Amino acid sequence: MANTNAASNADEPQREIIPPIPSPSWFSSLPIDIVWKILAHVPKRHYPTLSCVCKNFRYLVRSPEIHRIRSLLRKDSLFICFYDETSRPKIRKWFTSHTRKWFTFHMGENNPTENHFLVSVDLGFPYHDECSPSAIAIGPEIFFICGSFIPSSSLWIFDSRSCKIRQGPSMKIDRTYNSEGLVGSKIYVVGGYEDDDIEAESFDLKTQTWGLAPYPKEKVWWGSSATVSLDRKWFYGLRKLKKVRSVGMAECYGKMAFLWEESKDVRSETKEIWCRVIALVRSESGIHGVAEAPKLLGNVPSVYRQEHFLSLSD
């Protein structure tokens, strides 16, 4: 049978030629533009599952075209948390709207001349005994794992769609100074407890339950100025940048977004927040980046210190 998709796109040299979807289903007979639009409406957290269906699906969900469509739909948003160093209260009500200021912005392509200003977000964290919980972004939600200085087993979840925060299931034990990470569909929490029999546990996003998890026998310390996961690869670094401060990294539409602050004068009461997006391009010689023009997001008080830079997607 002739490949009607390839024939219909023969006059479009700017588009890549996609191999036909190896399936007799109705999905394989759709024009590739329709396939991309359908997949663009699928929540991005399901893309790893789609990638396991076949090689063609893996190509489609990693294609720059699907990220471009999602950008037009404004599916992703970036959240920034600043710590107000002048608002440290005397009582232990640390992680509140008085000490932490949250902002969000979109890097959409609806209008190339659009200003990407910071928009304030009212994230009222109800657990007042927590100083600085760890934050992990998964889909449209932010998971706050407590236990930074005061031992805790609490988990709180912020939903960016409703702008509401709810309490999740508690960990099996109270922890402090722990490390967290997302692997597959589970959040792993390691350390912060003296009993080696329960050194690590994991939170299953599907069952919403905590369980014991394996952990390395050797004690390992991890540290980096900024990290980001992109296409199943981790990028580290940005330790030696001298002209900017408080660099953050996050994935946005299949690209790396860099956030930093600049002060024109050390005596200034405000500082600028900048963002630049870099697309990674594969070639025979390896992987190199194509940087877009930097964007000024706005100004914040100079006493604000960047604490979190997270990417949320619908």
User: Does any domain span residue 104?
Assistant: no
**Confidence (pLDDT) at 224:** 42
Number of domains in the chain: 1
User: Does any domain span residue 197?
Assistant: no
Q: What is the pTM of this model?
A: 0.76
User: Does any domain span residue 145?
Assistant: no
Check residues 89 and 59 and name the one with the higher pLDDT.
59
Choose among 22, 28, 111, 18: nearest CA to 66. Answer: 18
How many Å apart are CA 280 and CA 254, to the nearest integer?
8
List, for residues 249-304, the tens digit of each pLDDT value: 888 888 888 898 888 777 888 999 998 888 877 677 777 788 888 888 989 999 89
Environment class of 189 (CB within 10 Å of its CB; exposed 0-12, middle 13-18, buried 19+): buried
User: Does any domain span residue 20?
Assistant: yes
User: Does any domain span residue 63?
Assistant: yes
List, for residues 13-24, the tens digit of each pLDDT value: 444 444 444 444
User: Does any domain span residue 299?
Assistant: no
Q: 3-class SS at 96?
A: coil
Range(s) of the domain holding residue 32: 4-72
Q: 3-class SS at 295?
A: strand
The average confidence (pLDDT) of the chain is 77
Query: Phi/psi of residue 56, each to 5°?
Result: -65, -40
If residue 39 lies in a helix (H) or strand (E), which one and from where to where? Answer: helix 32-40
Torsion angle of alpha carbons 288, 293, 299, 305, nearest 10°? 0
Torsion angle of alpha carbons 102, 108, 113, 114, nearest 10°? -40
User: Does any domain span residue 44?
Assistant: yes
Find the mean pLDDT for residues 166-183: 87
User: Does any domain span residue 223?
Assistant: no
